[in-house]
Structure formats: structure tokens, C-alpha cells
Amino acid sequence: MNLSTAHPVNVDSNKPAFNGLSASEAAERLKQYGPNAVREQKTSSLLLLVKKFWGPIPWMLELTILLEIYLGKTTEAIIIGSLLVFNAMLSFFQERHAQNALELLRKKLTIQSRVLRDGTWQVIPAENLVPGDVIHLRMGDLIPADVKLLDGQIQMDQSSLTGESTPVDGGKDQMAYAGSIIKRGEATGEVMATGAQTRFGKTAELVRTAKTASHLEEVVFAIVKYLVVADVALALIVAVYSIILQLPWHTILPFILILLVASVPVALPAMFTLTTALGATELSHKGVLVSRLSAIEEAAAMDVLASDKTGTLTENRLTLAAIKPYPPFTEEDVLRMAVLASDEATQDPLDMAILDAARQRGIAVSAETIQFTPFDPEKKRSEALIKQSDGTTQKVMKGAPLTLAKLSGTGEKIEEEVREFAQKGYRVLAVAAGNDDESLRLSGLIGLYDPPRKDSKELIQSLSDLGIRVLMVTGDDAQTAQAVAHQVGIAGNACSAETLKSPTESADGSCTIYAGVFPEDKIHLVQKLQKAGHIVGMTGDGVNDAPALKQAEVGIAVASATDVAKAAASLVLTTPGLRNILSAVETSREIYQRMLTYTLNKIIKTFQIALFLSLGFLFSREFVITPLQIVLLLFANDFMTMSIATDRVTASPKPDRWNIFSLMKIALFLALPVLILSFGFFYAAKSLFNLPLEQVQTLMFVMLVFTGQANVYLVRERRHFWNSIPSRWMLLGTLVDVILVGMLASLGILLPPISFSFIVITLIVVALYLLLVDRLKITAFRWARF
């Protein structure tokens, strides 16, 4: 809507006179209440980047860098510093998809408004409206504030605010809320609330204050915590041993440094980011856009999906559901009369539903329309004067049932029948006809409803099969909500919004339908479910859904959603329907399996290396591997195994939740055989082949790299590792790693050289180890109930 910025505005002189505010009063109130706008909250890009260097893994790396510099190991410090920056930059650029929900809400309020100031109608920016202002609203206007109507009749589209598709009538002493659109009529009203105090603004404030829950950081922190505890325990043992033997500290400190470097899961955040980024690309080809990468991991664990009804489970499109004719009229007669009292030019949802139904039934209307009066909110009906084939005229009306019943004088039974239609979730209209007002006769009732999407029932069943409980959330009454829920396959009790407001009530699974809810109720539902330990998904399409979409771990905006809802959501469906939600869940669970493989392999390697270094030093009083080789291991093991992000995996049939304690048990169990193998190599190299310490360390480096790759294939399947074929990128990554490390060791690049035959023997022994330990792995998974 474009309004001239010229100040004088002509308003119908027949309208009652209103006082309005003076310019000085408005200025004072503007200071008191503030602008009619939603507060913005922008985060500095620099601050976001700095935060990437703050956390358990960055802290450990930063401490390691300081120790390396203190010990004069500049090369190692530079390499580790580069890894730290790589992690931070990868995470920063992949996650820098800023959410603009508040900005979009603010733009919806920055429009021009007709306001009465100093006794003169003016056009001013809606941002300058204050409570007490008198404004004039016309068809096509976006209502800029919460307004109490003083005069006139309007019909409003509140679907972007309430989520409901049915137009709402407004008249004197009724409220018109910010964010609604005037579809018909005009009115004058007094501004009652502006900015964040409007119903629209309160929704924006909920979006601003909603905090998206993410469990990925908790997972990383838990892993680091366990590894640090294990390393500190080993370091203390070595320290006590060194004190007893009176070993110099300049010998012990490098060992502690090596232990620290070996134990830091330096590539874990980068691996998680890379895996979810590749998953986001994969999902984009399946009709799902990802705006928050952590939502992919959360979707794998999601066990409750709260779905908005209108526009999400339903089509947000009114259709003909039922016709109740009153004799002697037939259903066809009733529908034909309803068509005569409708006009496609108005694009009224009720008229369009009736006209579409007539076309589908092949009902042709040939009568000539002499005069047509569109729906009048005050009269609660539309009417047409038509010329019949015999030359006579007839008046046809369509509108509120009780209104037409009163006009026709036939109100018997109609209240009960209207109630029955309403219980089925129908919007009820009556049709009446007669030669004039005196002979008007009620011909029947028409029930319109918003039908469920064709894929809703199948989708809900598929989600249930995957262990996800689906809840329906709607602003409709309980009867309508239950009727729709039954049609889409959601069984269970219907609870009111009061249930969510009660501090004693919990989301314990007794309710599957929540009726009569407002935006603040939806966010309370999500918060209660989260407090009960659930990973929550929320679907929606309107402004009213935005706070809950942002609060939920997995906020899903459907294709037809408003820009505000899409900006608040973490997943946005790009094609009509809800089938893509299923793709999102299945793909997310596949991504989780890849992340699990990498994590489990890293923990096994950490236990192996930490124990090998500690026990090797205790028994031999020598470093079994050098600090530089430990840093090279970060590349050869941690970064080369990032190809797991492309692995072929099978999605879990149930929600996946991280169980770090079980992971630690499995990792420690599987670390023991590879630890035995490591000591076997060390003993053979020193005692059987009589290699000098430098070549022993090179051989141990090669062995650690090869076993690291073997463990990837060992743990990627809960079955025998040969039951499935890895991705080509994963196989290629392993091949490149083996060849590259073999070349470094045999040519003496960065390492003391060893014979090529030792490298071949190591590769054969590690392959045999993989075959022998595979059965033990299956036992370990069963033991840990993983």
C-alpha cells in the first residue's frame, strides 16, 4: 500500500467527529511509549568470530600453543595455531546465516498511517503512532497497531497473526490487531497499544527472547571432559613416578605437552560442522533449506513434533464439506443459490470455495444478475437480485445462519444443526431466497472447512514409526481440533491452553491435541516439553508460530509460511506438503551415524595414544613418539578421517541420543586390543629388529596412523564391517592417507626414514588386527547396549 506523504487527507465527512491528539501530546507519548516498532537485536560479526575461540577445545589448544612457545617449539605452535584458526573460520562461515525475524517484523510496522492530529487528518509513518491516536483504516491497509474501532465495519485477514484462514469481522468497540490486513470496508479507531505492547509486537518479543536449545555443544564438552579427566589422571601418575625417580622437569613437561596435544579432539568441531554442512546441501536437494546447522543433529534426536494445524496439517484453503437442504430445495438448489450470492471478483475465501464446488459438480448458473451486494460485516450477508428465465426477479442471500433465519422467520432446529456442523470443524453459512424480503425463505445450510493435506495422515504414521510423537497445536476450539486430528491420524486427549499455563502441569504425554492456544502458549508448550527432557520439533507457517519455531531445537517452516516464520525456523520446506519432514529426519539420522563413527574412532585413538605414551614412558623412560609426530597425527588421523562425512550409512529406526558414558565404555574396551598391538610393535622394533629410537618412533607413528584408519572401518557398522561398502570418498581418503604416510616414512620427509618393508608388514598386521577385533566389537556394542 502506497500513500502520499502529503499531510492533508480527505476522510468521509459523514463520519462522526473525533478529537484525536495534538502534536505536543503525541510527542510526549512518543517519549513515554517509544516508537511503534519492534526492537532489533543484532550481533556483531566480529563478536561471533571471537566466540569461536572460546570453549573447551579452543582453551586446550590455546594452552598447548602457549606451552609450545614456552618450550621453544615454534613450528608445532604455528601448526596448532593454524588448526585452531581453521576450526574457527570453518564454523563461522558455515553458521553465519543470520536470522532476520525481528527485522521482518519491524518492516511490517514501518508503513504510512492516516492519523488525526491537531484536528487535521495527516499521513505519518506508522512508527510515530502512539496510544490515543485516532487513525483511519481502509481496504488493503495493514493495521499498524492494536486499535479499538470507534466507527465503521471491516473484514480482516488475521491469518499471518493467528494462523487461521477464516476472515474476521470487526465493528464498533471491537479490537483490530496489528499485522492484520483489511480485506473489506473501512473504519476509524483509537490506538490502544503500539510496538512491543501490541499482540503482533508481543509475538516479536517472544521471537527475540526465545533461545534455541542446542545439545551439540554439550556433547562436545562432555567428550572433552572425559578425555581431560583421563589425561590428568595419567599425567599425575607420570608426575608422581618422575618425582620418585627424581627425573628433571624439563623432561616431564614435554611429555605432558605431548599427552595434551594427543588428547585434544582438535578436529571434532570442524568435523561436526563439515558433516552438517554436507547434510544441509543434501537436504536442499530434498526440498529442505537449513538455516541453523545444529538443527540437523537435533533432528536426529527429535522425539516430539508439535505441529500447527492451519496451513501445516491442513491446506489453509476452504472447501465445501456438506450441504443441508431444507425441503423442497435440493443440495443442487442450495449450491446454485449460494453461487448467485457470490462474486469471484471479491476473491473472498468463502465465495471462492462455493464457486469451486459448483464448478467441480458441473452446476451451471445462467440467471442474469441485476445487482450484487458484497458481504457486509454489519448486515452479515451478501445478496444478489437476479432475473429469472420467466422475467421475474428473485432476491438471493448468503450469510450468517442465525441472521438469515431471523430474516426468513424460520429459526426452528437451525441452532442445533449449526452446532452439529461446527462440531465437525465446519464454517457454516445459510442460503435464503425469495421474491422480496417478505417472502424470503431459508433454503439450506452450507458447511465449509479447511481440509487436511493429502499427505498429513501418512506422514504422521511414518513419523510415529520412527519413534516421534506428533502433537497438534491450534487456535481452534477442542471439538474442531479433535475432528481434524482424527482425520490426520492423531489420537488422544485434547487439552486447553490453560494446561500449558499451569506451573503444575507437565507435558507428560497425556495430551496429543492442544486447542485454543495463542503464540505465548506455543512457546510454553515447547519449553515444557524441553524441560521434560524431550528434543522438540515445531512446525508452523504464521507470525504466531515464530517464537515457538525459534525456541524449538528443530523449528520447521512450511513452504507457504510467512517470511517471519521462515526467518525464525531452523529448517524451511521449499515444496508444498510435509513429506520433506520425513526426509529431514532420515537424513539427519544418517548424519548422526557419521558423526558417531568419527567420534567413537577419535575416543578410541585418544585412549590408545594416551595410554601408550604414558605406559611406554613409565616402562622405558623414553618417548615412544615425538611431539612433531603427534601433531602430524592430527592431520593423518583426525583430518584425513573427515571423509567419514560422506560415508554410506543406514538411518536409525528410533531417535538418536548421544550417550557419552556408553561411548567411553565401548572406546576403552576397543582401545585395549589396539594398545596391546602397539606395545607388540614397540617391543618388536626395539628387541627383535634392534632399531634405533628415532626409527622406532617413526614405525610407531606409521602403526598409529594405520590403526586409526582401521578403527574407522571397525566402528562404522554395528555388524561385521564388510556388510556394507563405504563411500568412494572415504575409501579414497584412506588410500591417500596410507600412501602419503608411507612415502613420508620411507623417504624420510619430516621423519627419520625406515625400510619400506616395515611399512608393508605394518599394513598387513593392521589388516589382520581389523579382522580379529571385528567380532570383539560386536560383543562390545551389545555389552554397552548401544
The rounded distance, in Å, linking the Cα atoms of 62 and 84 is 8
Helix residue ranges per DSSP H, 389-477: 401-408, 414-423, 456-465
The rounded distance, in Å, linking the Cα atoms of 83 and 393 is 86
- Residue from 648, 643, 632 nearest 736 by CA: 643
The alpha carbon of residue 341 and the mean position of all alpha carbons in its chain are separated, in whole angstroms, by 44
Contact (CB, 8 A) for 522 and 545: yes
pLDDT confidence of residue 759:
93
The rounded distance, in Å, linking the Cα atoms of 473 and 513 is 6
The rounded distance, in Å, linking the Cα atoms of 709 and 604 is 12
Residues 125-156: b if buried by 16+ CB within 10 A, e if exposed: bbbbbbbbbbbbbeeebbbbbbbebebbbbbb
pLDDT confidence of residue 698:
93
Q: Does 647 have pLDDT greater than 80?
A: yes
pLDDT digits (tens, 9 = 90+) for 573-618: 887 767 888 888 999 999 888 888 888 888 888 888 888 888 887 7
Place 743 in a pLDDT band, splitting at 50, 70 and 90: very high
Share of the chain above pLDDT 90, in %: 18
The rounded distance, in Å, linking the Cα atoms of 452 and 450 is 7
The rounded distance, in Å, linking the Cα atoms of 601 and 733 is 15
The better pLDDT of the pair 670, 346 is held by 670
Q: What is the dihedral of CA 53, 56, 58, 59, to 10 degrees?
A: 100
CB atoms within 10 A of CB 66: 11
The better pLDDT of the pair 197, 258 is held by 197
The rounded distance, in Å, linking the Cα atoms of 525 and 604 is 40
Q: Does 545 have pLDDT greater than 60?
A: yes
> To which residue does cell 492451519 refer?
310
Phi/psi of residue 462, nearest 5 degrees: -65, -40
**Active site amino acids:** 308
- Residue from 374, 326, 261 nearest 627 by CA: 261
The rounded distance, in Å, linking the Cα atoms of 587 and 500 is 32
Place 96 in a pLDDT band, splitting at 50, 70 and 90: low
> To which residue does cell 510527542 refer?
27
Place 344 in a pLDDT band, splitting at 50, 70 and 90: confident
What are the cell numbers at 518? 495463542
Domains and CATH numbers, the chain: 23-40+103-209 (2.70.150.10), 223-269+592-783 (1.20.1110.10), 282-315+452-584 (3.40.50.1000), 320-449 (3.40.1110.10)
What are the cell numbers at 668? 576403552
- CA 2 to each of CA 12, 38, 117, 429: distance values in angstroms, whole numbers, following the listed order: 19, 21, 20, 35
Place 130 in a pLDDT band, splitting at 50, 70 and 90: very high
- Residue from 272, 313, 300 nearest 584 by CA: 300
pLDDT confidence of residue 443:
92
Cis-peptide into 374, omega within 30 deg: no
- Residue from 597, 765, 760 nearest 676 by CA: 765
Half-sphere exposure of 419 (CA within 13 A, CB side): 4
* DSSP assigned state of 735: H
Average pLDDT of the segment spanning 660-680: 88
Helix (H) or strand (E) holding 701: helix 693-715
The better pLDDT of the pair 146, 93 is held by 146
> To which residue does cell 492423531 refer?
490
The rounded distance, in Å, linking the Cα atoms of 89 and 748 is 33
End-to-end distance of the chain based on CA atoms, in angstroms? 59
Place 786 in a pLDDT band, splitting at 50, 70 and 90: low
